[in-house]
Amino acid sequence: MQMSEASSPDSRQASSRDYLVWYIRGFRVVLTVPALILATSFIGFAAMAMEARLTVLEAVFMTAAVWALPGMVVLVGAIIAGNSLPAAAFAVALSSVRLAPMVMALLPELRTRSTRKWVLYLLSHFVAVTSWVIAMERARKVPRGMRTAWYGGVGSVLVLTNMAVVAVVYVLARDLPPLASAALLMLTPLYFLTSLWGSARERAGHVAMVLGLLLGPLFAILTPEFSLLATGAVGGGLAYLYHVLTRSRERA
């Protein structure tokens, strides 16, 4: 008979030392290629924040509070453009909506029957593309009872590391050339694209990414104010339609 999740050895015999061990194992993710690429992207963000005349404390606080890099770039861009606070908040909220499905997909992989809700709320703050890709690829190799501790290590090390990166850039690299900043900032979307392509479990995911690449420049010309929203809505809708049609053909 298969043991229930609540009575498994992982959940029944877990001690504080076990949680600490798996937290540290998650903390070691800073040594992986995705984490290093993300750190180089935050160098570009720090240069952008300096151009917006943000202080080092403001930039570091933004890294901890907003965390997802696209939302931070949107916020700093709104500051540079002189947009109002409600407009900037709305733009950041729109850029962050994409994280909701990622949270919905990840949390069932982390929680157990005894996991407290506040733990899941805390861990959801760490959800961004880099941490999500790492977790979706590796979480199943972690004992279920230890996954929250492990992902807590993953998320916290990414946030703390990039807070430090932003602070160091403010101190040491005030004269970073704009072209170099832009190049470093582009490393993250390039990594996101390749990682998501490789981790996609269904062909519809690949279709969605191709449509995004094709429709993005088109909508940037046609509706520059709503290009991201239009690309996501149209490309995602067409990819979902492809998924439905493919599944119906397989069942026929």
Q: What is the pLDDT of residues 101-123, one digit of tens each?
A: 889 989 999 988 888 999 999 99
60 has pLDDT over 90: yes
Q: Which amino acid is at 38?
A: L
Q: Which of 192, 153, 227, 220 is nearest to 41 (CA)?
A: 192
Instruction: Please indicate whether residue 88 or residue 127 has the higher confidence score (pLDDT).
Output: 127
Average per-residue pLDDT in the chain? 80
The average pLDDT across 179-205 equals 69
Q: How far apart are CA 242 and CA 128, in angstroms?
A: 26
Asked if 78 and 173 sit in the same domain, the reply is: yes
pLDDT in tens, 163-180: 999 998 888 766 667 677
Residue 76 lies in a domain: yes
pLDDT for 14: 64
User: 77 CB contacts (<8 Å, ≥6 apart)?
Assistant: none
Percent of residues, the chain, with pLDDT higher than 70: 83
Asked if 66 and 88 sit in the same domain, the reply is: yes
Residue 244's domain spans which residues? 200-252
pLDDT in tens, 148-159: 999 999 999 999
The average pLDDT across 131-141 equals 87
Global confidence as pTM: 0.69
Asked if 208 and 120 sit in the same domain, the reply is: no
Asked if 226 and 182 sit in the same domain, the reply is: no
Q: How far apart are CA 31 and CA 54, in angstroms?
A: 29
The average pLDDT across 35-54 equals 81
Q: Which of 189, 244, 234, 145 is nearest to 40 (CA)?
A: 189
Which uninterrupted H or E stretch holds 236? helix 227-251
Q: How far apart are CA 153 and CA 88, in angstroms?
A: 31
Instruction: Please indicate whether residue 79 or residue 163 has the higher confidence score (pLDDT).
Output: 163
Asked if 209 and 181 sit in the same domain, the reply is: no
Asked if 217 and 97 sit in the same domain, the reply is: no
Asked if 180 and 207 sit in the same domain, the reply is: no
Q: How far apart are CA 244 and CA 246, in angstroms?
A: 5
Asked if 90 and 139 sit in the same domain, the reply is: yes
CB atoms within 10 A of CB 193: 14
Buried/exposed 203-236: b ≥16 CB within 10 Å, e otherwise: ebeebbbebbeebeeebeeeeeeebbebbbeebb
Asked if 88 and 180 sit in the same domain, the reply is: yes
* The token pair that represents 222 in the structure block: 């046609």
pLDDT in tens, 5-33: 434 444 445 678 888 889 988 888 877 77
Domain boundary among 166, 187, 208: 187
**CA dihedral sign of residues 165, 169, 170, 176:** negative
pLDDT for 1: 39
Most trustworthy range by pLDDT among 15-24, 54-63, 205-214: 54-63
**Residues 78 and 52: beta-carbon distance below 8 Å:** no
The average pLDDT across 207-232 equals 81
The average pLDDT across 231-236 equals 83
Residue 9 lies in a domain: no
Residue 2 lies in a domain: no
Residue 10 lies in a domain: no
Count of domains observed in the chain:
2
139 has pLDDT over 60: yes
Asked if 43 and 118 sit in the same domain, the reply is: yes
Q: How far apart are CA 173 and CA 114, in angstroms?
A: 47
Q: Which amino acid is at 42?
A: F
